[in-house]
C-alpha cells in the first residue's frame, strides 16, 4: 500500500516525538506521520510502575537549565506534573579505596582523602598550566591529565565520564562530549578561573556536579513521551519501521517493515545511528560509513527495592560513582527514592545500579542472578544492606549510549554534507551532538528548523 505525507518522522523516541510535536504545529497533523518500529513510543525514556515502585528504563530525568525542554512541557500542558529532585541530592559521593567520600568544593576538597596529597598539590597548579596551543583533537582524559594531573583524571574525570556516557575517557572526544570544558580553557585559560567566574555570577555553581536541578515528573520521565504521544495520536503508527529511504527527484520514498511505501517531501531520521545507516544506504557516498562509525556502549540498569530497615546507610544524597581504576565493577549507584521521594512505597527504598559501558562490555550479557551477585558484592557492604533485594527489575540496553570517540567531528561533517546534498533529509537524536534528554530536545528543534527551510524556503 502507498501512503503520502508532507513530513515523515522515523523513530518515536524522545527526539522523534519532540520533532513531530513541533512540526505538527507548523504543517498540521494531517501533513505529518511518525512511524515507530516498536509496539510503543518512548524509546528508552519509558517508565514502569509496579508494586509501588517507579522504574526508569533509561534517563532518570533532565537538568532544568535547558529552556526548550521546559517549554515543551509547558506547551504540552504538563508543568503541574513536574517534580524536582530533593535537596538531599546535592550530596554526591565517589567510591575510593573501599569507601564512599562526599565530593565537596574548595577549600574543603583539598582536605579530603579522595585524592593523594601529591594529586591535591598537582590540582593546585591548574591555574598555572598553559592552555592548549593548537586545534588537534584531544580525549577527555588527555585534557584532564594535562590540566589537573593523571590521578585526578583517573579518579574524578573518568568516573564522571562513565556515569554520563558509560564511556572510556581515554577514547572520547573532549570537543564533542564536553565542549564547555574546552571553551572554558579557551576563554579563561584555566578551569579554576572559569569556576570562580561562574561563582561570581551564580553562587550556587559547584565543582561537585553539573549546573541545574535534576527534574522529572511525578509519574516518572516516561510521562513526557506519553503526553506527547497522546496529543500526536492520529499521526503515530507503531509497529512500523523503515527499511529503506530513497530520494526520488525532490521527495523521498520510504519502504517500511510492513511492505508499504510512504512518499514524503521531508524526512526526519530519529533512530540510532546504526539503524539509520542501514536504511539510508545509497543516499550519499560517505554517509553509511559515518553513521556506522559511531560506536555504542551497552548498559545493564538494575532497579532494586529494599525494606528501609534492611539498609543501614542513611542514603542522604544523590548516590555515587566508581572510578574504573578501583575494584568495584558497578559504574555507580543512584539513590532514586531519595532523589525523587515517592518512587518507592512507604518504608522502602529503591536503588538504581549501572553495570557495563564501553570498559565492561560483557556486563550487558549477565543474567539476573549474576547481576544480583554483583550487586551483593559491590553495593551491599558499602550501604550496609543485610538482605537481598525484594524487588528487582533489570533493563538491558545492548547498544545503549552513543560514544563520541576521536574522529566524531569528521563523521559529523559527512552526515551534515549528506543533509546538504539531500534537502529535507535530517538526522536527529543522541548520536550526534549530545546524549542527554535536553540534547535530544535541542536536536529535535534543529530538525524542525531544517525541515521547514526545505519545504517552505523564505
**In angstroms, what CA-CA distances link 405 with 269, 295, 431?**
22, 8, 11
> 359, 328 in Cβ contact below 8 A?
no
Residues 62-98 pLDDT 10s? 999 999 999 999 999 999 999 999 998 899 999 999 9
Percent over 90 (pLDDT), the chain: 88
Among 96-100, 104-108, 423-427, name the one with the lowest average pLDDT: 104-108
> 406, 139 in Cβ contact below 8 A?
yes
Average pLDDT of the chain to the nearest whole number: 94
Q: Which residue from 275, 350, 282, 360 is spatially nearest to 319, judged by alpha carbons? A: 350
If asked whether residues 129 and 266 sit together in one domain, one would say no
Segment 371-379 shows an average pLDDT of 97
Residues 230-240 pLDDT 10s? 999 999 999 99
- Where does a domain end: 151, 167, 201? 201
Segment 314-336 shows an average pLDDT of 97
If asked whether residues 290 and 320 sit together in one domain, one would say no
Residue 45 located in a structural domain: no
| pLDDT tier at 109, thresholds 50, 70, 90 | confident
| pLDDT tier at 186, thresholds 50, 70, 90 | confident
Residue 54 located in a structural domain: no
pLDDT score of 446 more than 80 = yes
Residue 52 located in a structural domain: no
Grid cell of 41 as nine digits: 513510543
Segment 351-366 shows an average pLDDT of 97
Listed in sequence order, the residues at least 6 apart from 160 whose beta carbon sits closer than 8 Å to its beta carbon are 321
* Burial zone of 420 (CB within 10 Å; 0-12 exposed, 13-18 middle, 19+ buried): exposed
If asked whether residues 110 and 184 sit together in one domain, one would say yes
If asked whether residues 169 and 131 sit together in one domain, one would say yes
Segment 360-374 shows an average pLDDT of 97
Q: Nearest 5 degrees, angle CA 98-CA 103-CA 104? A: 140
**Spatial distance between the Cα atoms of 356 and 329, rounded to a whole number of angstroms:** 8
Residue 424 located in a structural domain: yes
DSSP lists the bridge partners of residue 94 as 101, 321
Q: Which residue has the higher pLDDT, 370 or 456?
A: 370
**In angstroms, what CA-CA distances link 142 with 27, 76, 161, 182?**
47, 43, 13, 12
pLDDT score of 117 more than 60 = yes
Residue 448 located in a structural domain: yes
Count how many domains the chain has: 3
**pLDDT for the residue numbered 205:** 54
If asked whether residues 213 and 314 sit together in one domain, one would say yes
Segment 362-386 shows an average pLDDT of 97
Residue 46 located in a structural domain: no
**pLDDT for the residue numbered 266:** 98
If asked whether residues 327 and 426 sit together in one domain, one would say no
**pLDDT for the residue numbered 196:** 77
Residue 439 located in a structural domain: yes
* Burial zone of 81 (CB within 10 Å; 0-12 exposed, 13-18 middle, 19+ buried): middle
pLDDT score of 458 more than 70 = no
**Spatial distance between the Cα atoms of 404 and 24, rounded to a whole number of angstroms:** 31
DSSP state of 153: I
If asked whether residues 181 and 134 sit together in one domain, one would say yes
If asked whether residues 238 and 280 sit together in one domain, one would say yes
| pLDDT tier at 193, thresholds 50, 70, 90 | confident
Q: Which residue has the higher pLDDT, 393 or 456?
A: 393
The CATH number covering residue 331 comes to: 3.90.660.20
pLDDT score of 453 more than 60 = yes
> 52 phi and psi, to 5 degrees?
85, 0
The pairing of strands 251-256 and 242-248 is antiparallel
- pTM to 2 decimal places: 0.94
Domain holding 285, by residue range, is: 2-40+222-294+405-455
Residue burial 2-20, b: 16+ Cβ < 10 Å; e: rest? eeebbbbbbbbbbbbbbbb
> 239, 37 in Cβ contact below 8 A?
yes
Segment 23-34 shows an average pLDDT of 97
**pLDDT for the residue numbered 208:** 46
The position carrying cell 588537534 is 136
pLDDT score of 329 more than 90 = yes
If asked whether residues 451 and 325 sit together in one domain, one would say no
Q: How far is residue 223 CA from its own chain's centroid? A: 17
Grid cell of 428 as nine digits: 536527529
Q: How far is residue 4 CA from its own chain's centroid? A: 34
> 61, 81 in Cβ contact below 8 A?
no
**pLDDT for the residue numbered 456:** 84
If asked whether residues 216 and 226 sit together in one domain, one would say no
If asked whether residues 308 and 381 sit together in one domain, one would say yes
Q: Which residue from 379, 227, 231 is spatially nearest to 312, judged by alpha carbons? A: 379
| pLDDT tier at 260, thresholds 50, 70, 90 | very high
The CATH number covering residue 133 comes to: 1.10.3110.10
Residue 49 located in a structural domain: no
If asked whether residues 196 and 309 sit together in one domain, one would say no
**pLDDT for the residue numbered 204:** 55
Q: Which residue has the higher pLDDT, 187 or 265?
A: 265
Segment 397-407 shows an average pLDDT of 97
3-state secondary structure of 288: helix
pLDDT score of 147 more than 60 = yes
**pLDDT for the residue numbered 199:** 66
**Spatial distance between the Cα atoms of 282 and 421, rounded to a whole number of angstroms:** 13
- Within 10 A of 39 (CB to CB), how many other CB atoms are there? 7
- Where does a domain end: 361, 377, 403? 403
Amino acid at each position: 500500500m502507498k501512503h503520502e505525507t508532507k513530513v515523515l518522522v522515523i523513530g518515536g523516541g524522545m527526539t522523534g516525538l519532540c520533532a513531530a510535536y513541533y512540526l505538527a504545529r507548523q504543517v498540521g497533523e494531517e501533513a505529518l506521520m511518525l512511524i515507530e518500529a516498536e509496539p510503543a513510543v518512548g524509546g528508552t525514556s519509558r517508565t514502569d510502575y509496579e508494586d509501588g515502585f517507579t522504574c526508569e528504563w533509561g534517563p532518570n530525568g533532565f537538568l532544568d537549565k535547558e529552556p526548550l525542554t521546559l517549554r515543551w512541557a509547558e506547551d504540552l500542558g504538563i508543568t503541574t506534573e513536574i517534580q524536582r529532585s530533593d535537596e538531599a541530592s546535592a550530596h554526591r559521593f565517589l567510591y575510593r579505596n573501599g569507601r564512599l567520600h562526599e565530593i565537596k568544593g574548595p577549600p574543603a576538597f583539598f582536605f579530603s582523602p579522595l585524592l593523594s596529597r601529591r594529586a591535591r598539590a598537582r590540582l593546585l597548579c591548574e591555574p598555572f598550566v598553559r592552555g592548549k596551543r593548537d586545534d588537534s583533537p584531544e580525549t577527555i582524559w588527555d585534557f584532564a591529565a594535562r590540566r589537573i594531573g593523571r590521578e585526578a583524571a583517573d579518579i574524578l574525570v573518568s568516573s564522571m565520564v562513565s556515569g554520563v556516557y558509560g564511556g572510556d575517557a581515554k577514547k572520547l572526544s573532549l570537543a564533542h562530549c564536553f565542549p564547555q570544558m574546552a571553551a572554558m580553557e579557551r576563554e579563561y585559560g584555566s578551569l579554576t578561573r572559569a569556576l570562580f567566574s561562574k561563582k561570581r555570577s551564580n553562587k550556587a555553581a559547584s565543582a561537585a556536579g553539573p549546573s541545574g536541578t535534576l527534574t522529572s515528573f511525578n509519574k516518572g520521565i516516561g510521562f513526557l513521551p506519553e503526553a506527547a504521544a497522546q496529543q500526536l495520536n492520529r499521526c503515530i503508527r507503531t509497529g512500523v519501521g523503515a527499511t529503506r529511504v530513497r530520494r526520488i527527484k525532490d521527495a523521498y520514498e520510504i519502504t517500511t517493515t510492513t511492505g508499504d511505501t510512504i512518499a514524503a517531501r521531508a524526512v526526519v531520521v530519529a533512530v540510532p545511528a546504526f539503524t539509520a545507516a542501514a536504511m539510508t544506504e545509497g543516499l550519499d557516498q560517505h554517509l553509511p560509513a559515518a553513521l556506522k562509525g559511531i560506536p555504542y556502549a551497552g548498559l545493564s540498569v538494575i532497579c532494586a527495592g529494599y525494606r528501609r530497615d534492611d539498609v543501614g546507610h542513611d542514603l542522604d544524597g544523590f548516590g555515587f560513582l566508581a572510578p574504573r581504576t578501583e575494584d568495584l565493577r558497578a559504574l555507580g549507584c543512584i539513590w532514586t527514592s531519595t532523589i525523587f521521594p515517592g518512587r518507592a512505597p512507604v518504608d522502602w527504598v529503591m536503588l538504581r545500579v549501572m553495570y557495563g559501558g564501553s570498559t565492561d562490555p560483557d556486563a550487558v550479557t549477565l543474567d539476573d542472578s549474576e547481576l544480583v551477585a554483583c550487586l551483593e558484592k559491590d553495593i551491599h557492604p558499602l550501604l550496609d544492606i543485610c538482605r537481598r533485594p525484594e524487588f528487582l527489575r533489570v533493563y538491558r540496553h545492548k547498544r545503549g549510549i552513543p560514544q563520541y570517540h576521536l574522529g566524531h567531528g569528521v563523521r559529523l561533517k559527512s552526515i551534515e554534507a549528506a543533509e546538504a546534498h539531500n534537502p529535507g533529509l535530517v538526522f536527529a537524536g543522541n548520536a550526534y551532538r549530545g546524549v542527554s534528554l535536553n540534547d535530544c530536545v535541542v536536536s529535535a528543534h534543529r530538525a524542525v528548523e531544517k525541515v521547514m527551510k526545505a519545504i517552505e524556503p523564505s
